[in-house]
Amino acid sequence: MNGAPRVAVVGATGYAGFELARLLLRHPEIERPVFYLRGENATARCLTEIFPQLRGWGEAPCRPLSVEAIVKSGAATAFLATPHEASLEIVPKLMNAGVRVIDLSGAFRFRDGETFSQWYKLNAPNAEALSRATYGLPELYSADLPGAKVVANPGCYPTSVILGLRPIVEAEWIDLARGIVCDCKSGASGAGKEPKRDTQFVEVNENFRAYGLFTHRHTPEVMEHLGVSAEQMMFTAHLLPIERGILSTLYVWLSEAKRAEEIEALFRKFYAGRPMVRIWPAGKLPELQHVARTNFCDIGFALDDSGRRLVVVSCLDNLGKGAAGQAVQNFNVMHGYPESEGLI
């Protein structure tokens, strides 16, 4: 593939990392990616040693993680599917070496580093790297992506909530004094691959629970990109006994009565030309099975007879549009490819 961009992938051993590898190995516009690993996986020579299901997909070479090795490889872009702590360390080094970064962690998602530090209980990110970071939600910030040096891939919950509410927030149709309720539910893969008691099979199977009330680290991300305060929004996350998927049910009061046709027209106009957002007809609601293993965010709504009470339902795959798929979508926009390249 003459002229095709070279990419590096750091940390491909988690759930989102595997999804990212699966997408990039089939992407038609890039050279075969090289995977940089650390820890017990650093000795792997090919990703198929860790994920046998990738056998037959072609070469997926692995190397021990080294910023110097990534730079010497000629990679123009590096995807980081790494913990927040690792991204804090690696992103500034890659950026300073001229490598563009798409970071799937939360390390560079906030305009204010102190917000990250407060909610994630980690050191604030490098100020220069943070100042050059772009929030990677293509439906809202695609104009900023072609020149971005660091792209902070959004969180899975925030993607579903922000896409579901941003059109009516911008239209100033919401009665913010009555508040917004974000009732969100995710599959167990959203908790990551590291063993945890709460995500063991016997804890998740045939169970359903809320968690992180008033302390969930995705809360400030939602507030920042909706332009609302903590007093105007309630965000609650729940763990579903399923593998993957997010369904967010969003409750708002409208400041003036609207017709269902007006709501649908607003959403369709707002997301016109955005291939990864699918708007459902008024009164019809998406389900998790409609978006599983895709990069789509499906949005539907119901409006009560008064025209004032609105419920928006936003569905996506937390490993697709909520993580790896969105990272590839950001890559496509950065390099001038169609947003859906390698995703449909």
Q: Please state, in angstroms and as integers, the Cα–Cα distance from residue 297 to each residue in 182, 232, 253, 289, following that order.
A: 16, 24, 23, 12
How far, in Å, CA of 215 to CA of 226, rounded?
Answer: 18
What the block records as the tokens of 319 is 């490993």
Which candidate in 156, 182, 297, 315 is catalytic? 156
What sign does the CA torsion over 28, 30, 31, 36 have?
Answer: negative
254 Cβ contact list (under 8 Å, min separation 6): 168, 173, 174, 175, 307, 308, 309, 310
Question: Biggest alpha carbon distance in the chain?
Answer: 63
Q: Is 156 a catalytic residue?
A: yes
Q: Which two tokens stand for residue 227?
A: 């332009």
Q: Can you tell me the distance from the alpha carbon of 93 to that of 147, in angstroms, rounded to the nearest whole number?
A: 18
* Of 321, 344, 343, nearest in space to 138 by CA: 321
User: Structure tokens of 119?
Assistant: 């909610």
Q: Where are the alpha helices (DSSP H) in 29-108?
A: 67-72, 84-96
Strands, E assignment, the chain: 7-10, 34-37, 62-64, 77-80, 100-103, 133-135, 150-152, 180-186, 209-211, 233-239, 246-253, 277-279, 297-303, 309-316
Give CA–CA dist 196/204, Å, rounded. Answer: 11
Per-residue CA distances from 41 to 34, 68, 78, 87, 265 (Å)? 14, 19, 19, 18, 50
CA–CA dist 245, 194 (Å, integer): 19
Q: Where are the alpha helices (DSSP H) in 171-259?
A: 201-204, 219-226
Amino acid letter, residue 97:
A
> Annotated catalytic sites, by residue?
156
